Structure formats: structure tokens, C-alpha cells
């Protein structure tokens, strides 16, 4: 596994590439903070994308979008992110993003690829 930090001026191109590679994969979001402990904000939903808001009142905020149906759509916002790390396996399966906010809260996005049809047929 390799972990690397994505610096701020590389976030947008990184996010575009990351979204292309992982769109539709199964995602979970976990939030860890001193006052809340570790809690899941979402589990087992399709990954739609991660974006950076470069305008408006929440300039600089990140948004993680999960779910493709109106009844399962989740937008998780991270205000004032200070660090973005990606941990990748060699084959880029099971990539993980860790985002730290200025208040010390960490948001962890875990991804898993969808099972292949051939794997499902073997069951």
C-alpha cells in the first residue's frame, strides 16, 4: 500500500481522475472526531464523486456524493479541509481517502469495486 498527500493546488485534477476511476464503486464514509468518536455517515452506497467548492460561502469545502437514486442520495460536506491523503493498493482496488478538517475531524472514504459478474456466477 502507498499513502500520499495531495496538495491543495492538485486537488481538482486529482478528484477528476479519482472520480473517473471509482465511479459506481461501493463506498462508506466514516467520520472521526474528538467530540463524536467514530461514526459512519454512510455505508454501502455507490460512489458518485468528490468535488471541491471553489466559489460561494463554503469556498474550499469538499463534498463527497454517494447514491444514484433520490432516496439514497447523500452529500457529505467537509468544511475547511486542511489535508487530503489517498491510500492505494498496487492495483488501485480498495482505495481510501482521508480528509482532515481544520477542527481536527477526519473523514474517511473507503471504496470497494463492484464484484465482477464472473465472480457472482461462481457463488
pLDDT digits (tens, 9 = 90+) for 64-94: 999 998 889 999 999 999 999 999 877 666 7
Residue 122 lies in a domain: no
Residue 123 lies in a domain: no
Contact 64, 52 (CB under 8 A): no
> Domain of 83: which CATH number?
2.70.180.10
pLDDT digits (tens, 9 = 90+) for 54-65: 777 788 999 999
> From CA 37, how far away is CA 44, in angstroms rounded?
21
State the cell numbers at 64: 463527497
Contact 72, 48 (CB under 8 A): no
Residue 30 lies in a domain: yes
State the cell numbers at 7: 496538495
Residue 32 lies in a domain: yes
Residue 119 lies in a domain: no
Q: What is the pTM of this model?
A: 0.88
Residue 54 lies in a domain: yes
For all residues of the chain together, what is the average pLDDT? Answer: 90
Please count the structural domains in the chain. 1
User: Domain containing 103: what range?
Assistant: 2-114
Amino acid at each position: 500500500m502507498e499513502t500520499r498527500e495531495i496538495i491543495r493546488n492538485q486537488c481538482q485534477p486529482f478528484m477528476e481522475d479519482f472520480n473517473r476511476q471509482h465511479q459506481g464503486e461501493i463506498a462508506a464514509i466514516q467520520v472521526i472526531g474528538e467530540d463524536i468518536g467514530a461514526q459512519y455517515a454512510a455505508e454501502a452506497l455507490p460512489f458518485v464523486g468528490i468535488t471541491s467548492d471553489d466559489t460561494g460561502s463554503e469556498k474550499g469545502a469538499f463534498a463527497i456524493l454517494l447514491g444514484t437514486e433520490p432516496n439514497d442520495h447523500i452529500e457529505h460536506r467537509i468544511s475547511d479541509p486542511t489535508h487530503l491523503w489517498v491510500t492505494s493498493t498496487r492495483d488501485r482496488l480498495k482505495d481510501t481517502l482521508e480528509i482532515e478538517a481544520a477542527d481536527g475531524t477526519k473523514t474517511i472514504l473507503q471504496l470497494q469495486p463492484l464484484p465482477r459478474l464472473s465472480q457472482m456466477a461462481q457463488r
